[in-house]
Amino acid sequence: MITEPRIPDPDGFYAALLAAHEGLSEAQSADLNARLVLLLANQCGDQAVLLACIRAATEDPTTAPAP
């Protein structure tokens, strides 16, 4: 898993991501994110990296505890 910066225009990417979610309900945003995750996963295409990314995302300490 690469954790060094690689996105050429980070602010531009983030703005595009926010723009894609603009005006969506919570459910629509969740659907959009899910589609995006799957599309990006296929770009990566490396099983070990994908599993490492899932682990890294799961370990985020700021995630709210389950209700």
Partner 1 sequence: METFAFAPACELPVWPFTPPPELASTKIVRHPIVIVGAGPSGLTLACDLAQRGVHAVLLDEDDTVGVRGASSRGICYAQKSLEIFERLGICERIAAKGITWSFGRTFSGTQEVYNFNLQADSVSKQPPFINLQQFYVEWFLVERILELGLTDMRWKSRVTRVEPLSDGVRIKIETPAGRYTIEADRLIDATGANSPIRTQLGIETHSSRSTDRWCISDVRFQKPLPAERWTWVDAPFNEGRGVWQHLMADGVWRIDYQMPEDCDTARISQPEVAGARLREQLGPDVAFEFVWIGPYGYRDHLLDSFRHGHVFFIGDAAHVVSPFGARGGNSGIQDAANLGWKLALVAQGQAGDALLDSYDAERQPAAKQNLQVTSRSARFLAPRSPAEHTLRRAVVALAARHPFARALVNTGRMSVANDYPAAPQLPEGGRSVQNLPLRWADGRETTLMQLLAEGTQCIGLWSAPARTEARAAMDATVSLPLRLLAIGGDSGLPTLQADEKLTRHLGIHDAGGFVLIRPDAYRAATLPHATPDAMAAALRTALAHDTAP
The smaller minimum CB distance to partner 1, of residues 4 and 60, is found at 60
Residues 22, 14 contacting (CB under 8 angstroms): no
Cβ neighbors of 52 (< 8 A, separation 6 or more) are 1
Q: Which of residues 23-42 bind partner 1 (CB under 8 A)?
A: 27, 30-31, 34-35, 37-39, 42
Q: What dihedral do alpha carbons 32, 37, 38, 44 form, nearest 10°?
A: 150
Residue 15 or 31 with smaller CB distance to partner 1: 31
CB of 33 to partner 1, least distance (A): 8
> Under the rule (CB under 8 A), what is the footprint of partner 1?
27, 30-31, 34-35, 37-39, 42
